[in-house]
């Protein structure tokens, strides 16, 4: 006698996203690092105090040691040694770690941690709601739907949220940057009491105006052309042919016809993810293009066309873009 199997549907369980939760994890990482960015000066984790004349690191005062030279307790050679050991060496170590990570995996810091890039993506999303375009420089509107098929309604009334949000982010950034230079409790105390000093008021006002303009008009452009941290990461990444890249299966390009170029539309840097690495110089490895491809191709038995690849697979991915050289005919 055959047993009868009755299928049971679990109530309250959500299906796993096609990308395995990659974007959810990335957003949590961004949110956590943004909180760290805001609170680091408050807990003296990292800042330079212009009032005290020294830095703070992990809750401890960090001096270059030049006060001993000024007092005559050490000579010039000893002062140079302290500057090298206490200032230059830590900077070189931190920079070396960042460059090494970038050499292997690209601009992971930008796409997964950077507090500026998280603002870029947030404003992009709201600006798209208002105009159909993620930036004012786009020539055409994006298709009014998400990669999973959900419709997106464009409405100019979203500007009433987009602009205040950009100004609010700019104000927060200006205040936080000031706390990296002045005692945080002094800055926040003056703001809460409505009695900022003249210099505090000038810094916060100027910072809010400049950053508001940048957040509204030049978000991804700053990341692409003006951010020194991002530029150094990109240069290191380009120097490694086996570094992690977004690989594209060109021999299956016909499958892209069903997805309205979703990977292009979701890229916050406005890049073309299916292109060669050198045109993806400023890729932040946010993997939104990969997640979009996994979503649009979730019913394709052959799987997505975009995925992270590294090592020999990265070399092969770039070689696939190289057009074969025409054979020379013998006379």
- Separation CA 6–CA 10 (nearest Å): 13
Q: For residues 155 and 99, what is the distance between their CA atoms, to the nearest angstrom?
A: 42
- Domain ranges in the chain are 22-230, 241-319
Question: What is the spatial distance between Cα 280 and Cα 150, in angstroms, rounded to a whole number?
Answer: 28
Residue with tokens 């890039």: 117
The pLDDT score that the predictor gives to residue 14 is 55
> In tens digits, what is the pLDDT along the chain, a chain of 331 residues?
444 433 333 444 456 788 888 999 999 999 999 999 999 999 999 998 888 888 888 888 877 766 666 666 666 777 677 678 777 888 899 889 999 999 999 999 999 999 999 999 999 999 999 999 988 888 888 888 888 878 889 999 999 999 999 999 999 999 999 999 999 999 999 999 999 999 999 999 999 999 999 999 988 889 988 999 999 999 999 999 999 999 998 888 888 887 888 899 999 998 999 888 888 889 999 999 999 999 999 888 988 999 999 988 888 887 665 544 444 444 4
> Residue 321 has what pLDDT?
59
Q: Work out the number of other CB atoms within 10 angstroms of the CB of residue 196.
A: 19
Beta pairing, strands 46-49 & 60-62: unpaired
The pLDDT, as a whole number, for residue 196 is: 93
- Record the tokens describing residue 250, joined without a space: 């060109």
DSSP calls for 97-112: HHHHHHHHH-SHHHHH
Backbone angles phi and psi of 320, in degrees to 5: -65, -20
**CB 291 within 8 Å of CB 22:** yes
């Amino acid at each position: 006698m055959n047993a009868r199997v009755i299928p049971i549907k679990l109530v309250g369980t959500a299906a796993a996203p096609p990308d395995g939760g990659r974007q959810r994890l990335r957003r949590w990482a961004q949110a956590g690092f943004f909180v760290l960015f805001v609170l680091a000066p408050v807990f003296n984790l990292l800042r330079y105090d212009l009032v005290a004349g020294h830095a703070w690191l992990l809750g401890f005062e960090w001096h270059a040691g030049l006060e001993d030279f000024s007092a005559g307790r050490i000579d010039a050679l000893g002062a140079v040694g302290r500057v090298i050991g206490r200032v230059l060496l830590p900077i070189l170590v931190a920079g070396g770690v960042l460059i090494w990570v970038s050499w292997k995996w690209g601009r992971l810091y930008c796409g997964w941690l950077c507090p500026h890039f998280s603002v870029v993506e947030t404003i992009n999303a709201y600006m798209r709601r208002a105009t159909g375009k993620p930036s004012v420089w786009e020539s055409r509107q994006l298709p009014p739907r998400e990669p999973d098929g959900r419709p997106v309604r464009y409405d100019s009334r979203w500007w009433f949220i987009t602009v205040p949000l950009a100004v609010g982010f700019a104000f927060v950034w200006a205040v936080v940057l000031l706390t990296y230079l002045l005692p945080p409790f002094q800055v926040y105390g003056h703001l809460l009491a409505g009695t900022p000093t003249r210099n505090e008021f000038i810094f916060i006002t100027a910072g809010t105006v400049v950053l508001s303009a940048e957040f509204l008009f030049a978000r991804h452009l700053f990341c692409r052309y003006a951010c020194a941290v991002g530029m150094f990461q990109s240069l290191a990444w380009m120097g490694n042919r086996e570094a992690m890249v977004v690989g594209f299966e060109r021999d299956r390009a016909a499958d892209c016809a069903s997805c309205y170029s979703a990977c292009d539309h979701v890229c916050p840097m406005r890049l073309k993810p299916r292109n060669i690495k050198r045109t993806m110089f400023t890729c932040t490895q946010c993997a939104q293009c990969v997640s979009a491809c996994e979503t649009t191709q979730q019913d394709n038995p052959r799987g997505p066309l975009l995925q992270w690849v590294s090592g020999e697979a990265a070399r092969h991915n770039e070689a696939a873009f190289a057009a074969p050289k025409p054979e020379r005919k013998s006379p």
